[in-house]
A = this chain, B = another copy of it.
Amino acid sequence: MNGFGQTVTLSIFGESHGPAIGIVLDGLPAGEPIDEAELQRQMARRAPGASPLATSRKEPDAAEILSGFFNGKTTGAPVCAMIRNTNTRSGDYTPTLPRPGHADLTAFLKYGGHADYRGGGHFSGRLTAPLVFAGGVCRQILERRGIVIGAHIQAIHNVWDDRFQSPTAEQLHHLTHMDFPLLCGARREAMEKEILTAKQDGDSVGGVIECAAVGVPAGLGSPFFGGMESRIAAMLYAIPAVKGVEFGAGFAMAGLYGSEANDPIRAGKTGYYTETNQNGGVNGGIANGMPIVVRAGIKPTPSIAKPQKTVDLATGENAEVETAGRHDPCIVPRAVPVAEAGLAVCLLDALLSG
């Protein structure tokens, strides 16, 4: 079970150090022009760059579109995009020593030792590149329908950005053009310091990403298992390192009274709206027309340089591992476009599913 979606469906394939990674994106409307430069820009947001904050592994992440695209537009047939793996250093990984916090051990146990362990194989964070491709296609289609998605870094380690108040299309659009997207830019220095300190220690840090979508028409989603929150959470939890997902006030709801948590409904010129958005744009699984606001808690990158306790899968004995490879001391900045992409796929799928 690797697929996602009701109308717009995804099928992700590939391993970190195999020939290629990619995605099949099906169910798109036909005749949608796709701006390939903008698509590539989205891909570049996720790609490891020149920043000292990220891994030094350089990959162009150039996606080749193999199908479903003709004369600059979608054809209605499945879109397959493939990204060749070019810059792989398999020697960095010791197959028999699973890295704590990563999927090495679970992949080994699930697949009876047959998993491609190199660089995390199918479980590598690199597999989020195809998801960014898919999201990049979907968000162009969504934008033509007035739906805009954006996100910011809400926390890195213990440094917090503000929360979204009333996000607008302009604000979200602006955030997607920032290389370190924050609502309050003054927090950047402290956040970067957290990352660099961790890096110097051979360690890593986690954080929180807050995403929003505006222009979402009321009525999207289905009751119960097809609710917007169920769909979006399932998508976000497919992104490696996500360990928490909350909507609107989220866990803070626990400390509220109903009279605080209930968003007062008002009649506006273009329809009903709520004065607050504690519910993050969703009631009973159905979008209510307010901005959808969702946060993802991201754990620290599991790959760290410090020696860690593990086992030797060849001998079954206790052992120690140091991960010598090129790794991000903090995955949060690069995960921002991934979370946005996931949200884009969910919204287009729900929109087209009626």
On chain B, the residues within 8 Å of A255 by CB distance are 155, 157-158, 206
Shortest Cβ gap from A94 to chain B (Å):
14
**Chain A interface main SS type:** mixed
Contact string against B for A residues 228-246, beta-carbon threshold 8 Å, 1 for contact and 0 otherwise = 0111011101101011111
- Name the segment of A48-56, A142-150, A164-172, A305-313 touching the other chain: A305-313
In contact, B1 and A111 (Cβ under 8 angstroms): no
Residues from 225 to 271 in A contacting B, C-beta threshold 8 Å: 225-227, 229-231, 233-235, 237-238, 240, 242-267
Closest Cβ of chain B to A78, distance in Å, is 4
Contact of A192 with B by CB under 8 A: no
CA–CA, A97 and B172, complex, Å = 33
For residue A20, which residues in chain B have a CB less than 8 angstroms away from its CB? Answer: 66-67, 80
A295 to B289, CA, bound (A): 27
Q: State whether the Cβ of A352 lies closer than 8 Å to any Cβ in chain B.
A: yes
Best-surrounded residue of A19, A68, A98, A122 (most CB of chain B within 10 A): A122
A42 at interface, CB cutoff 8 A: no
Q: Would you call A155 and B258 a contact (CB within 8 A)?
A: no
Contact A225 B4 (CB under 8 A): yes
Distance (whole angstroms) from the CB of A84 to the closest CB of chain B: 9
B288 and A105 form a contact (CB under 8 A):
yes
Give Cα A156–Cα B272 distance, bound, in whole angstroms.
Answer: 32
Shortest Cβ distance from residue A214 to the other chain B in the assembled complex, whole angstroms: 17
B114 lies within 8 A of A30 (CB) = yes
- Whether B223 lies near A77 (C-beta < 8 A) is yes
Closest chain B residue to A117, Cβ basis: B70
Q: Does A96 contact B (CB under 8 A)?
A: no
A265 to chain B, nearest CB (A): 5
Q: In the complex, which residues of chain B have a beta carbon less than 8 angstroms from the beta carbon of A344?
A: none
Given the contacts A101-B261, A265-B310, A109 and B219 also touching, CB distance less than 8 Å: yes
Give 5 A-B contacts (CB < 8 Å), ordered by A residue. A2-B225, A73-B114, A198-B258, A203-B259, A258-B302
Given A1-B6, A99-B262, A266-B311, 17 more pairs with CB closer than 8 A: A2-B224, A3-B3, A7-B354, A22-B80, A24-B24, A70-B121, A105-B283, A109-B272, A110-B221, A157-B254, A203-B257, A204-B258, A206-B254, A208-B251, A243-B249, A245-B245, A253-B299
